[in-house]
Chains A and B, each alone.
Chain A
């Protein structure tokens, strides 16, 4: 499940990226047109023209209501995001990055391109001269900025609100979609893992930058990557003992989590005297957190794995 908002400069292929992304994810694009068609009930043609023409009309109250079009827009998009538990959602424009800022799991993308690229795209698309395209760009960009400023009081061009900024000067629509899908997939994995702590009383231990404790962990990570097996490093802490006041006195943060296999792996390649203590912790994890798959990688397993893989050109069957 991914919620992806796309903000774009005119002529940057942002609309095309949103369409291709939605098609790839098997969903539809929630655009301004979609909002006008679906969020506000029946709108008379005059009002529709005004809403299409200028952002300031979103501050108008709906007929017979004290709520504005902007209020309804915000409410409906947030509702869509909240309800999209197992579905993908692509929101194009409408200040989605502002609207869903900090929304768990949402990825905010900005699509840009140089003025030359954008002029050429617009000129080609509408079969107009680059001078005419320049005017189209000016008006379009102004409208986008104004919409977000008027409705939310924010600047849509400020980069810090985006997780990913794509420049389509050299990137194709397909390449951009690949990048967004992969980012959304990985991020969703981290978000789901973090959310799982709420129900299991475990502690989120995820960091944005991996720092291995020793070379063995680093080598093991390399082995997993070599096998194309996705891993997260020390993403969760399982408390296993508490004192009378409920303070955690013993916990374990397994070294690796393999999302595809829903499996935690703990390396014990250090002094084998610690193995007994680790075995105890593992047993407690299994008891206290039923359904958790957790296994120890012993020194012997690890060394044999590394030795076998060093023999380039094929795996012996004893590996």
Chain B
């Protein structure tokens, strides 16, 4: 039986627990300042943002409401790539509210664009994005990422919510893993 690090074959620690927590404190303080006196709903994207959402919201000193959205692709006989569906919609009414969408990582931005479009239909006052990790070189979409923890490149990563085939989310830090063959 392998332990978690062995199962993931981790190569090196990219962001330690301490580094992550220190950055989250900074983000939390900034968000607290920016949204002071405003009605804020924080929405995490299932499942990757699980730990980040949990730590970030506890670093925000405001009476925020918290919800989550989930989506996945399902097979479609007419296309090689299937179709994307919302599997968990927001339960809180976000009409006319400030919304902060929390993601684990934004790379191409396609999934984020999809989520933003869906949330926009509920007529929030505005939508702001916060991602733990951001790869600006691969970002295709013009999406407003106001807050992010760290910039990354094309590394393959696991931990702190990020997975490989659903394994590795509970690793308390972010590690580099070998690229999938």
Contacts and interface: CB of A to CB of B under 8 A. Distances in A.
B84 A228 contact: yes
Contacts of A305: 108, 110
Interface in A113-148: none
A261 B142 contact: yes
Contacts of A306: 80-81
Contact of A265 (B82, B83, B140, B164): B140
B142 A293 contact: yes
Contacts of B113: 227, 229, 260-261
Interface stretch (B28-36, B56-64, B67-75): B67-75
B105 A309 contact: no
Contacts of A312: 73-75, 82
B72 A314 contact: yes
B165 interface: yes
Contact residues on B (Cβ < 8 Å of other chain), bracket: 20 to 34
A316 B110 CA distance: 13
B141 interface: yes
A165 B150 CA distance: 54
Contacts, number: 86
B162 interface: yes
B163 interface: yes
B3 interface: no
Contact of A222 (B80, B104, B117, B164): B80
B73 A315 contact: yes
A148 to B, nearest CB: 40
A313 B73 contact: yes
Given A223-B81, A228-B84, A293-B142, A316 B108 contact: no
A319 interface: yes
B50 to A, nearest CB: 11
Contacts of A222: 79-81
A227 B142 contact: no
Contacts of A261: 113, 141-143
Interface of B: 48, 72-75, 79-84, 104-105, 107-108, 110-111, 113-114, 117-118, 138, 140-143, 156-157, 161-166
28 contacts: A219-B81, A222-B80, A223-B110, A226-B73, A226-B79, A227-B114, A228-B114, A228-B117, A260-B117, A261-B142, A263-B141, A263-B142, A265-B140, A293-B142, A297-B140, A301-B140, A305-B108, A305-B110, A310-B81, A312-B75, A313-B74, A315-B73, A317-B48, A317-B163, A318-B105, A318-B156, A318-B157, A318-B164
